[in-house]
Amino acid sequence: MPFYEFRCHTGHTTERLLPMSSDTRTTECQTCGDEANRVISAPAVAGVDKRKARLVEATQKSAYEPAVVNSVPSSGNRRATPVSHNPQHAKLPKP
């Protein structure tokens, strides 16, 4: 059974050992007794690449809390579309 992490509104973190089939979304905070909501976090498995763990965590988080962006994310090092300067290519039909 995996540990699930819960966080209350005050910011306390509580861990509970629950079966994977459990759909428990809230529990009682062990520190203040308030309701604590389940937090999506990467599993604590030894030997996992930290970059992969961050990617998994970001992917899981975005499933519930999509990030608000102001522009389309860059796709990295894109090369510009090659442009032909051959005058005969200008006569070809445009898509």
| Residues near Zn ion, by CB under 5 A | 8, 10, 12, 29, 31-32, 34
In whole angstroms, what is the distance from residue 95 CA to residue 85 CA?
Answer: 18
Question: How does DSSP classify residue 85?
Answer: -
Taking the complex as a whole, how short is the minimal distance between the CB of residue 7 and Zn ion, in angstroms? Answer: 8
Nearer to Zn ion, 8 or 38 (CB): 8
Nearer to Zn ion, 41 or 56 (CB): 41
Which run of H or E residues covers position 6?
A: strand 3-8
Nearer to Zn ion, 12 or 61 (CB): 12
Taking the complex as a whole, how short is the minimal distance between the CB of residue 8 and Zn ion, in angstroms? Answer: 3
Taking the complex as a whole, how short is the minimal distance between the CB of residue 16 and Zn ion, in angstroms? Answer: 14
- The amino acid occupying position 75 is S
Question: How does DSSP classify residue 40?
Answer: -
Nearer to Zn ion, 25 or 34 (CB): 34
Taking the complex as a whole, how short is the minimal distance between the CB of residue 14 and Zn ion, in angstroms? Answer: 7
In whole angstroms, what is the distance from residue 20 CA to residue 12 CA?
Answer: 23
Measure Cα distances from 14 to 1, 9, 39 in Å. 16, 12, 10
